[in-house]
Amino acid sequence: MQNNLPIVIILVLEVNAGILVNAFIIFVAYRDLITTKTVSNSYKILVVLAFFNVCYGLMMWVGLLDYFCRFGIFTNIYTTYIFLYVLLFIISFCTWLTSNLGFFYFIKMSNFESGFFFWARYNISSVVPWMLLVDLLLSLLCSVLSVLYFIFSEI
């Protein structure tokens, strides 16, 4: 354990910094919601992404605590599969949200005059909730398929 102390300190600092920064993003968006009574489309994506990044940080805390303190959380195989499923879902969802955020900013900055990009630019307020729903469903599907692969590969 003595040799792992620098690694543990770095991991704890990274996880705490990630949780605090994302919690701050959620707080700022909530404060803007209270003052303006509206939320912009980019804030919708940012808040959902920040929330799931906080969830990811908390999952990492659970994993770190179990690994270094030997709580035995993962001694049951079903608990391990549930943890793996939730972790894969969060990682997949954060990846999709980050991609959509990049697409959203691309659409916002682009200067296309025809086609899909023109339509998406002027209808982005109706597209964002659907993008979030599609991201959620794709993440659920990907994580279920991944966990099923892990379960059936051990049989």
For the stretch 34-46, pLDDT in tens is: 999 888 877 888 8
Maximum mean pLDDT: which of 3-7, 11-15, 41-45, 121-125? 11-15
Q: Are 105 and 42 in contact (CB under 8 A)?
A: yes
Position 55 scores a pLDDT of: 94
Q: In the predicted model, is pLDDT for residue 107 greater than 90?
A: no
Q: Are 59 and 87 in contact (CB under 8 A)?
A: yes
Q: Are 29 and 51 in contact (CB under 8 A)?
A: no
pTM: 0.81
Q: In the predicted model, is pLDDT for residue 1 greater than 70?
A: no
Maximum mean pLDDT: which of 46-50, 104-108, 144-148? 46-50
Q: In the predicted model, is pLDDT for residue 155 greater than 70?
A: no
CA–CA–CA angle 115, 121, 122 (5° rounding): 100
Q: What is the pLDDT of the chain when averaged over all its residues?
A: 86
Instruction: Work out the average pLDDT over 59-80.
Output: 86
User: Which stretch of 31-35, 74-78, 110-114, 115-119 has the lowest confidence by average pLDDT?
Assistant: 110-114
As a whole number of angstroms, the distance between CA 97 and CA 70 comes to: 34
